[in-house]
Structure 1
């Protein structure tokens, strides 16, 4: 990851809606908080194709030269466009605030605020390997965390080991509606055409994505806006330098990695070998998986459904991985920004001396 980052802001004139093709059954526990990155790539690609005077027809792939394909890609590869996100921002009196997914290892104590779970280094079998637990050391005064976001400055505090808070995005209201497509001239449901429509209503703000690619900035700076989402709402697009780099390594003996974007691993919730590069996963704090899908305007059909590891999932590691880019590439679709993460610190459960009960004994007593 390069030191200089840029933010690409998508400011909608109206509400935005994203369609998700989903299975409807009791075992389907996946959920979505942020929209998939695929509609953002598609919207940018469409406007760039118009800038390059490429003729676009619905349900047909455009005829692209090899040079243009290298630049802006297609549905299977992004070309030189390199983005991470989307995330949420608000803007008031010319000042922006940036909101990322809240880490899933945070709990709230009645008297002392937000804290991160400690590592309880026990051995519990997960697939073909054993891991420990992300554990809350307190047993009283624990409150449920309802906030879904962490603001940029609070994330930096968390990374540096300072006190921090979680929040709601103050400028965003989300709604979910169910859609059913019907056969033409017949009052029956089309096969595979049940979907959710997730609606985002912003007040003074919108979505943003990050990049460290100068080539990406050069290409996106050619467009003024995009039509985004299932209802093709207009969004103004701005590119600005992003202050600071949250992707850099932190100063901490104990290090965890928190996903900022969805990830799809060959082992399900983790890579099948239980490692990120050469760093061993010691514990996981996670939530329900995220549904990643969308609508293929070329074929006029839903895209395949992927159940990805949710943004905010935290992996407790035994050390820093040797190479961060190798970690990113362990996720499928990493070229579309999947598997991006930041480092945060964690603490081990403390052992008590003398005759006092230690944290492991407390845990066993609660089981």
Structure 2
């Protein structure tokens, strides 16, 4: 079967509040709020939806996977159409703001960790970019405490703090070109989504009835009007695309809450293009999705000369086919920035993960440039 490697755009519109949470226990007396979806939740929902519509034998699939087969082989034993699902390569998801009256429009990305703001009482101080120093400061030694060749610096006498929230495509384009973005390009999380808290009953596993006095609270993710999720997919065969067009509603996240998916040929609006490296001191890579990396904060075969990496995020989940939890790993958060002398390694041009992690959507990057502080 011919696999179409053309990259298509997926828009996802939740039909109700969605629920995405980490691996911490959740039960009676607990409160859990949804976070934003990890890449594997979208990849898993899309794969499961396509498999179901194409008549996958899930019991047989689980048996093959528990026997040591990889997903491609296990699906190939059933049909060529199902086998094509294993070749899908997802990127994202990201939040997307449609033209609904609020500015700015287009895709929004987690704020890069190099963007700082001077501390003020009103929280509206000037913005600055952390940049690598040309020469190391006194006492800088490339050890475990300072593992990079260059220190990141802001030339200001005022204390600063990292900016949180999201950045528009235009603002990200400024950062990728080594410029401080306009404040108007910053988007608060409150302008994109809210939490709908609901109280529920605990259902006994043996009785399938409500347990006396056992309640829990769950906070569901609700997008603001005009806000959608957007992702990219490569390897979608004509047959798989027809499945999505004929059955566009899929279950996504906890409780398999419903979302409607639409496929478009046009690229994601507002996604910035890589800048020219000609007049810069080096290239940088900005993570737009989390990345489980071999050495925690960087990959196995590459070492940046400087990096801004926030606290890691836990990556886990439940393996439905094998009926067991997935191992917990820690990933560099979206918004992490890696600086390189000259060009970044060619293998990292579009992503910093490979294999199954990359197919799931982890490690997506944007390429930019930097100049010495």
Residues 63-116 of structure 1 deviation map (CA, whole Å, 9 limit, x = unaligned): 7425234311xxxxxx22111111112334499521111100111146873221
Match of 1:106 in 2: 115
- Cα deviation, residue 174, structure 1: 4.4
Q: Is the 8 A contact 2:353 2:362 kept in 1?
A: no
Partner residue, 2:29: none
Instruction: Choose between structure 1 and 2: higher helix proportion.
Output: 2
Q: CA deviation at 1:335?
A: 2.5
Corresponding residue number in structure 1 for 2:68? none
- Give SS of 2:310's match: coil
Q: Give the counterpart of 1:139 among 157, 177, 185.
A: 157
Q: RMSD of the alignment, in Å?
A: 3.9
Match of 1:119 in 2: 132
Residues in 2 aligned to 1:348 and 1:218: alpha-carbon distance in whole angstroms: 50
**2:117/2:126 contact within 8 Å kept:** yes
TM-score (norm 1): 0.73
For 1:15-94, list aligned pairs within 5 A: 15-22=17-24, 34-56=36-58, 64=75, 65-72=78-85, 79-93=86-100
Q: Which moved more, 1:82-91 or 1:297-306?
A: 297-306
Give a deviation string over 1:32-81, Cα, whole Å, max 9, x none. 96422112112111221233233556995697425234311xxxxxx221
Q: How far apart, in 2, do the equivalents of 1:217 and 1:321 lie? A: 35
- Calculate the TM-score normalised by the size of structure 2: 0.72
- Deviates further, 246-255 or 307-316: 246-255
**Which consecutive unaligned segments of at least 5 residues does structure 2 have?**
27-33, 65-73, 208-216
Change (3 A) 1:325 1:257: closer
Shift of 1:23: 8.3
Of residues 175, 197, 204, the one that matches 1:158 is 175
Alpha carbons of structure 1 residues 130 and 38: separation in structure 2 relative to 1, 3 Å? closer
Number of matched residues? 320
Residue 293 (structure 1) shift: 1.6
Q: Higher strand share goes to which structure? A: 1
Q: Alpha-carbon deviation of 1:312?
A: 0.5
Q: How many angstroms apart in 1 are the aligned matches of 2:352 and 2:313?
A: 19
**Unpaired stretches in structure 1, ≥5 consecutive residues:** 25-31, 73-78, 187-195, 350-367
Q: Quote the offset at 1:318 in angstroms.
A: 0.8
Contact 1:84 1:337 in 2 (8 A): yes
Distance across 2 between alignment mates of 1:244 and 1:4? 19
- For residues 37 and 307 of structure 1, the distance between their equivalents in structure 2, rounded to whole angstroms, comes to 14
Which of the numbers 285, 291, 310 marks the counterpart of 1:287? 310
